[in-house]
Structure 1
Amino acid sequence: MSLLRVDASIQGDRSASGALADLVVDTFTAARPEVPVVRRHLGQDPLPADAWAAAISGGFTPEGDRSPAQREGLATAERLATELRQAASAVFALPLYNFGISQHAKTWLDLALAGAPQGTRLLDGTPTVLVTTRGGAYGPGTPRAGWDHNTDYLRRILVDVWGADLTVVEREFTLVGVNPALDEFSEMAAVMRKTAEEAAVEAGGALANRHAA
């Protein structure tokens, strides 16, 4: 029974969400070295943008009449849904981009939804860690409060639609030190980073304890 890790960052080695997910997974594998980790990086190896439309149209087309694109779209959708169903634990590193979910992650979610019968709880009861990061600050009282359209959406899909047993690890102000306009928040950002890293290690340990045999 595997652990499924999915990343969506476009930042490569500079990814804040990837660094936190590394802490989760490294802590997990230190405790459960026998568990294989299945990895999918949507930022480095994005899914075809037209695959979801092909899968949806293919689902309404008799099998013998499907085009090659429709067959490929359906096969991709079913493969993604199967990855989720087969995971005994999951870690998703899905940062906020432009106030919402990244296009890479949205395509993945749409295809996975298309790859199983409607209403299928692809992560039913599966211990899952969502790592999400934000370049700025979006908490109550900040100028951008309410602009995070990523985290609540992901909760809806992962928990309400797919049935995941979810833990969320969050970090804000990841652009402090990158954007000079945010330099005044350096101390606050350092505390946020340390808190998020501690939460990631804790989440990895808890995930190892809850992983199905």
Structure 2
Amino acid sequence: MATLLHIDSSVLPSGASASRTVTAAFRRTWEEQHPGGTVIRRDLAAHPVPHITADAWSAGHVGPSERTAGQSAAFAARLELIEELERADAVVIGAPMYNYTVPSTLKTWLDSVLLLGRTAGEAPSAQGTPTVVVASRGGSYAPGTPRESFEFVRTYLEAVLGRTLGLDVDFIVPELTMAPRNPAMAELVPLFEASKERAHREAVTKARALAERLTAEAGR
């Protein structure tokens, strides 16, 4: 049966997090389509992965028999994350914008799973895995907006997830999430509500389409 890797990185709990509510909608739809499937859950805010260290990094460039005890222990933590990614038939990632980029916890996860010669390089081991990123943000950084040039979430993740890890990346972008809480953005609340509804519809639609596609591919 199909396996979904579900990653959240918002520091806020489900009820208060725009990205978590959308990834949850994606996951629920996925589980409806794959009731016997597996979901690997990674909540990077509740359970942060270790920051990359010299031992964790250098261990990826030597053989197992050449590693020190420290390198072996550090690499084991990386290997667990790498194997989760490689086992996944699909990935959904909650990536809210914090100070114009991704949360540090998500960056740490990426640092761990990116391993040249395995997940990156000429033949990335998870190449082609469909991946939906929920890139929520408090304002709007869409083309033509005043802060378009401050958008470092989508551009960064397209480079790392898509061009480096070789994943098949798609985005859902709930925006203006600060509008209900910021009086200066009050006039933007209707646009926020429309964006929120659109994001939830896209989550359901994309999860259903992806589940159907993988089921069809498995039946060939």
Task: Decide: shared fold, TM above 0.5.
Answer: yes
2:171 equivalent to 1:171: no
**Higher strand proportion, which one?**
1
Structure 2 residue aligned with 1:200: 203
SS in structure 2 of the partner of residue 124 of structure 1: coil
- Structure 2 CA distance for partners of 1:66 and 1:198, relative to 1, 3 Å: same
Structure 1 residue aligned with 2:105: 104
SS in structure 1 of the partner of residue 135 of structure 2: strand
User: 1:167 deviation in Å?
Assistant: 2.0
List runs of 5+ in structure 2 lacking aligned partners.
none
Q: Which amino acid aligns with 1:86?
A: R
RMSD: 1.9
Any conservation in 2 of the 1:77–1:113 contact (CA below 8 Å)? no
Alignment of 1:1-213 (within 5 A): 1-13=2-14, 14-49=16-51, 51-59=52-60, 63=65, 66-68=68-70, 70-114=71-115, 117=118, 118-119=120-121, 120-211=123-214, 213=218
Alpha-carbon separation, structure 2, partners of 1:65 and 1:205: 44
- Structure 2 CA distance for partners of 1:191 and 1:96, relative to 1, 3 Å: same
Alignment length, in residue pairs? Answer: 211
Q: TM-score, normalised by structure 1?
A: 0.90
Moved over 6 A (4+): none
SS in structure 2 of the partner of residue 211 of structure 1: helix
List runs of 5+ in structure 1 lacking aligned partners.
none
Q: TM-score, normalised by structure 2?
A: 0.88
User: 1:180 deviation in Å?
Assistant: 2.1
User: 1:116 deviation in Å?
Assistant: 5.8
